[in-house]
Amino acid sequence: MTSRAAAALTWDGARHPARRLPAPARAFLGPVTPAKKLAALLAQGGPAELRICWVPRLRGGADVLVPPFATADGKRVAFRMVRTVSFGPVLGAVYRRNV
């Protein structure tokens, strides 16, 4: 199990290219986790930490909606926000698993 996963998302949950983030936000995220790998991680119990950069944009439309990631037991994986960092209009958030 990977201990950390990262993604850049718009406010409506669509993926946003990390390369278009400010340099400090890219450094905060570290390597971005591909969607298929993140889905597999969550299905296997998930990473211990998620790093998300929330980008203040809306893409809109049905094509941006992502179905929920399925876990092995069909239950939600609980995370809590432990830290936020502002990069201008981008909000970086660190979420850790509830144990």
Which CATH number goes with the domain that contains 37?
3.40.430.10
Is 66 a member of any domain? Answer: no
Q: Does residue 1 carry a pLDDT above 50?
A: no
Question: Residue 41 CB: number of other CB atoms within 10 A?
Answer: 20
Q: Which residue has the tokens 């278009």?
A: 20
Give pLDDT, residue 64. 55
In this prediction, residues 75-91 reach a mean pLDDT of 89
pLDDT tens-digit readout, 17-65? 899 999 999 999 999 988 888 878 877 777 889 999 999 887 666 655 5
Phi, psi (5° rounding) for residue 55? -100, 130
Count of domains forming the chain: 1
Domain range for 83 is 4-60+74-97
Distance CA 12, CA 87 (A): 19
**Percentage of the residues of the chain whose pLDDT score is greater than 70:** 83
Please indicate, yes or no, if residue 65 is contained in any of the structural domains.
no
pTM of this structure: 0.80
Is 21 inside any structural domain?
Answer: yes
* pLDDT class of 16 with cuts at 50, 70, 90: confident
